[in-house]
Amino acid sequence: MTSLWELYITFFKVGIMTFGGGYAMLPILQREVVENKGWATEAELADYYAIGQCTPGVIAVNTATFIGQKTKGVAGGIIATLGVVSPSLLIIIALAKIISNFANLAIVKNAFAGIRACVCVLIFNAVCKLWKSSVIDKITFIIFLTVCLCSLILNISPVFFVLLAAISGIVIKQVEARKK
């Protein structure tokens, strides 16, 4: 049985290991939540990412809230959310005045350039893992490809893509079921 403390510590670890925003948390969340704790399946985590993308706020925070709520109810949602944001809050408070004094140093700029490159790899790894559990047939591949191309061409909110993909999935699967 998962305790509130275990939820907090797990999401604190996720929060402290993340650089580069919510998407960089995805591979860490996947490892901790799916592989280590078994609090969600790959498919559930993909659903949480999608819902988290459609709701206000940071995707990783929203995902932590969903998983915490699933695991321990409302209290779990609150505790998981606090866990994932606590490291950032503490680090920002500690560095707020210091960072402005060192932001123009070459070593700091170079460090952040390296971190950004690393974050791209972490996000790419998360996409590859999501691909395996999400693009499972021709229909989901077509939806993926369509959304990918449209997101490169159109400058609209990701919420519309998620909603249109959901509607497409429902309609296409209903048409397939009627044909059988």
Q: Which two tokens stand for residue 67?
A: 């998983």
Amino acid 129: pLDDT: 82
Structure tokens belonging to residue 38: 């078994």
Express as a percent the part of the chain with pLDDT over 90: 32
To 10 degrees, the CA torsion angle through 25, 117, 121, 54? 40
CA-CA distance, 168 to 180, in Å (whole number)? Answer: 19
d(CA 168, CA 140): 10
86, exposed or middle or buried, with CB in 10 Å at 0-12, 13-18, 19+?
middle
Residue 5 has pLDDT above 80, yes or no: yes
Query: Torsion-angle region of residue 36: left (phi > 0), alpha (psi -120 to 50) or beta?
Result: alpha
**Best CA proximity match to 171, nearest among 150, 132, 142:** 142
How far apart, in Å, do the first and last CA atoms of the chain sit?
Answer: 43
Q: Pull the structure tokens for residue 57.
A: 């706020």
Write the pLDDT tens digit of every residue in 144-164: 999 999 999 999 888 889 889
> What sign has the CA pseudo-torsion 110, 115, 81, 159?
positive
What pLDDT score does 19 carry? Answer: 65
Q: What is the pLDDT of residue 146?
A: 93
- Is residue 24 within 8 A of residue 119, CB to CB? The reply is yes
pLDDT score at 20: 61
pLDDT at residue 21 in the model: 64
Domain boundaries, the chain: 4-133, 135-180
Q: In this predicted structure, what is the pLDDT of residue 95?
A: 78
- Note the pLDDT tens digit of each residue in 81-127: 999 999 888 888 887 767 777 878 888 889 888 988 988 888 888 88
pLDDT at 167: 92
